[in-house]
Amino acid sequence: MDLFLSTFENRIDRKGRLSVPAPFRAVLERRRDPLYLFKSLTEPCLEGCGPERIGQIVDAIDSMDSLSEEVATLQTMLSSAQEMKLDGEGRIMLSADFIAFAELDDMALYAGIGRSFQIWLPARYRARETEARTRAKSEGLPSLRLGGGRRPPDETPGDPQGRR
């Protein structure tokens, strides 16, 4: 099904360039999709996705009351979105704005979350992750209803194959 999974940590060089993990590139290339990045509305991270998601936001705006606050919120997402061009080596250039927003310095962590992925300051991501796991233990799992009958493609309990 072609999803963004697993995490990768790459270096941001002094020109602001950052390699997109090869597996993520493969997903995009298979679909011949350009890559879009935008600032998360709710967290200090960047979100990456393909054009279909951007198109949905555009269409949603057109169908809404243009005076509503919701439209202003959606416009904020589009205004922060950039189509990223990859160089010959599969790198993107992060704008100063993006770097500042996600508070990145010289390393970036990609977290695949299915149809999209996020880019975090590694330390911040890890803190959130342990926090989430702690919550899961103390409060139990969020209700998860996975599709009909199948089981979750069960992964080894420890940690997905975080290579590196």
What residue ranges bind DNA (CB under 7 A)? 8, 10-11, 13-22, 25-26, 85, 87-91, 93, 95, 163-164
Task: Please state, as a whole number, how many other Cβ atoms lie within 10 Å of the Cβ of residue 68.
Answer: 11
Distance (Å, whole) CA 3 – CA 35? 14
CB-wise, 15 or 151, nearer to its own copies?
Answer: 151
Reference 49, options 112, 122, 98, 126; nearest CA is: 112
Shortest separation between residue 35's beta carbon and its own copies, angstroms: 12
Q: What are phi and psi of 35, to 5 degrees?
A: -105, 135
96 binds its own copies (CB under 8 A): no
Interface residue with its own copies among 22, 60, 100, 127 (CB under 8 A) is: 60
The window from 14-22, 61-69, 86-94 that contacts its own copies (CB under 8 A) reads 61-69
Q: Which does 53 bind (CB under 5 to 8 A by kind): DNA, its own copies, none?
A: its own copies
CB of 111 to DNA, least distance (A): 14
Q: Which of 135, 93, 98 is nearest to 120 (CA)?
A: 98
Show contacts with its own copies in window 109-138 (CB under 8 A). 111-116, 118, 128-129, 131-133, 135-137
Residue 106 in tokens: 């010289």
State the DSSP string of 49-82: E-HHHHHHHHHHHHTS-TTSHHHHHHHHHHHH-E
Minimum CB distance to DNA, residue 141 (Å) = 30
Q: Does 97 bind its own copies (CB under 8 A)?
A: yes
